Amino acid sequence: MTGMKLMRLVTTILSVTAGAALAFGTGTTVVTATEPCDDFGECKALIEINATDGDIGFHFLIDGDDLNSARIDDPTGAKVFEDQAKGRLRDQKLTETSAESAEPLCWPDPDADPDEEIVTLEEFLERWVAGTYVFSGMGDNGAKAVGATELTHEIPAAPSNVGFSGGLITWAAGDDLGRCASNADLDDLVAAGVLPIHPEKVDVAAWEVVLEPEVADGDPTGNLVFSIRVPGDIPTRAVTVPAEHLAALPDDTPVKVEIGAIGADDNATFTEVGGFCVNEVEGCE
C-alpha cells in the first residue's frame, strides 16, 4: 500500500485550481495530529485503506519529550505497542514515534501468494475496536506521560473517476471502499452494526493528491513526488500540477495518481490510478 510510507518528498511549490485554499501535506504516509494529547504534544490512531490494491492498515503517532519508552493500550486495556530506547538512543531520548501495521489484503486476490493472510474489513474492525487508545511514556526518574485519542470506524469512501491530463488531476467522490467492500457489502455492515455509518456519508475533511513517478527502485526520479492536501469542500475537485514540477521530470516518465479521502478523524481511503505518461516523446513503457 502506498498510502502510508512514513515520509514523502515534496519537491516543488504547490498550486491548486482557482478557488481552492492551500493545505500542505507530506503525503499519504504521514500520520498527523493537530491538537495536544494531554501530556503529549500529539497522539493519533487511524485506519487507512488502499481501495485499489485492496489492503488495510492501522497507523499511529505519538510525540512527547525525552522519553525512554512508549506504549499504547487499546480500549480493552490490552497493550498493542511498546517501544523502548536502549544504549545511546536512551541517552539521546525518544520524541516522535510513528508506525504502521502490516497491511494485509482485505480480499482474495487471485494473483496473491496462496499463503498470504486475508483480513476482511469486518475482521479488521473487530481487531481494531473503536474507542479510546491510551498512549503512555516513561522518562528519567520515573517521569510518566499519559494521553489518549479516539479511534473511530467512520471511514470515508474511496475517491472515484481519477484522471490526469494536461497537468490537471481530477477526481470525484465515491460510494464504496473498492476491493475492501462494495456498496452492497457496506449496506450489510451498517445494518449489522459493524460500521456506524456508510462511508458515502462520512464527511471528507481533506483530499490528498499525489503524483508519483512509477520507476525502478533506486531511480532518483522516484523522489520527484508532487503532494498536496486541499480542503474537502473545494468547489471543483481538481488540482493543477505546477509546470515547473512536470518540467523537472525526464521525458517519457510513467506516473501514477493517488487520491486520498481524509476524514475529520484522519481515517483515510486511497484510490490509485497508473498508466499516465509525462513529457511524452517516444511513449512510456
Residue 276 has pLDDT above 90, yes or no: yes
pLDDT value at residue 67: 92
Rounded mean pLDDT, 114-134: 96
Rounded mean pLDDT, 154-175: 97
C-alpha cell at 64: 512527547
C-alpha cell at 88: 545511546
Q: How far is CA 85 from CA 62, 70, 82, 135, 211, in A?
A: 15, 9, 10, 16, 36
Extract long-range pairs of 26-29: CB within 8 Å, 24+ residues apart: 26/227, 27/208, 27/210, 27/225, 27/227, 28/2, 28/3, 28/4, 28/208, 28/210, 28/227, 28/258, 28/260, 28/268, 28/270, 29/2, 29/3, 29/4, 29/5, 29/100
Between CA 195 and CA 154 the distance in angstroms is: 7
| Range name among 4-18, 32-46, 69-83, 91-105 with the lowest pLDDT average | 4-18
Instruction: Return the percentage of the chain with pLDDT > 90, whole number.
Output: 79
pLDDT value at residue 33: 43
Residue 9 lies in a domain: no
Residue 265 has pLDDT above 80, yes or no: yes
The two beta strands, 144-151 and 55-67, are: unpaired
Between CA 211 and CA 258 the distance in angstroms is: 7
Q: Report how many domains make up the chain.
A: 1
Residue 58 has pLDDT above 80, yes or no: yes
With beta carbons less than 8 A apart as the criterion, state whether 133 and 101 touch.
Answer: no
Phi, psi of 7 (to 5 degrees): -155, 140
Reported confidence tier of residue 35, pLDDT bands at 50, 70, 90: low
pLDDT value at residue 96: 87
CATH assignment at residue 69: 2.60.40.10
Residue 32 lies in a domain: no
> What is the average pLDDT score of the chain?
88
Rounded mean pLDDT, 180-194: 97
Q: Nearest-CA neighbor of 106 among 162, 159, 178?
A: 178
Q: What domain range includes position 135?
A: 42-277
Residue 58 lies in a domain: yes
Rounded mean pLDDT, 47-54: 98
Extract the runs of DSSP E, i.e. beta strands, from 29-86. 42-50, 55-67, 69-73, 79-84
pLDDT value at residue 142: 85
Residue 77 lies in a domain: yes
The two beta strands, 42-50 and 226-231, are: unpaired
Sign of CA dihedral 10, 13, 19, 22: positive
pLDDT value at residue 108: 93
Strand, coil or helix: 281: coil
- Both ends of the chain: CA-CA distance in Å? 23
DSSP state of 35: S
Strand, coil or helix: 127: helix
